[in-house]
Structure 1
Amino acid sequence: MAGSSHGHTPAAWTGVTIAFIGFCVSGAFVVMAQPVGFWAGMVIVVLGGVVGGVMRAMGLGQPKQERTPPHRAPAATREPAHAEG
């Protein structure tokens, strides 16, 4: 995967950063036993996905590639095994 550019876009970095902040907020409020703060953090996590999706739609994400069928190697051409008997 090191040779691909998967996730190296402004849309991906921004969405993941916002979602990470949301997880941190939620985690802190779980420790403080504050359910409202936890859910506020979960809203931030969802907001990260929405922002990333909007940025991708604006052209800041990775361009879509057409899917091609996988390359198939030619079938082996050997003689079938004969049963001796």
Structure 2
Amino acid sequence: MTNPIADPGHGHSPAAWTAVVIMLLGLAVGTTAFFLDVPVVVWVGVAITVIGAIAGVVLAKAGYGAKGPKYQPKAH
């Protein structure tokens, strides 16, 4: 008999969701600015995307990641 593979969590945590939402906002801003040919705002979008990644790491280290002590999984 084999053991079932443990569920890795798939990033369903406040840290992951916050990072993804901020990064999507940055990509939307950057893509729109690229389309409108506004290079300064493209770089603002890049900065927002990087800030989103950093926010995810900071929140995960603060305990809001999938295995953090402040994370409370919800029933599916």
Normalised by the shorter chain, which TM-score bucket? 0.7 to 0.9
Structure 1 residue 5: Cα displacement: 2.1
Q: Matched residues, percent identical?
A: 37
Aligned to 2:44: 40
Aligned to 2:17: 13
Highest Rg: 1 or 2?
Answer: 1
- Matched pairs, number: 62
Q: Going by fraction, where is helix more abundant, 1 or 2?
A: 2
Q: TM-score, normalised by structure 2?
A: 0.77
User: Unpaired runs of 5+ in structure 2?
Assistant: 1-6, 69-76
RMSD, aligned α-carbons: 1.3
Whole-Å separation in 1 of the counterparts to 2:48 and 2:12: 22
- Following TM superposition, the consecutive aligned residue runs of length 4 or more in structure 1 with deviations greater than 4 angstroms are none
Q: TM-score, normalised by structure 1?
A: 0.69
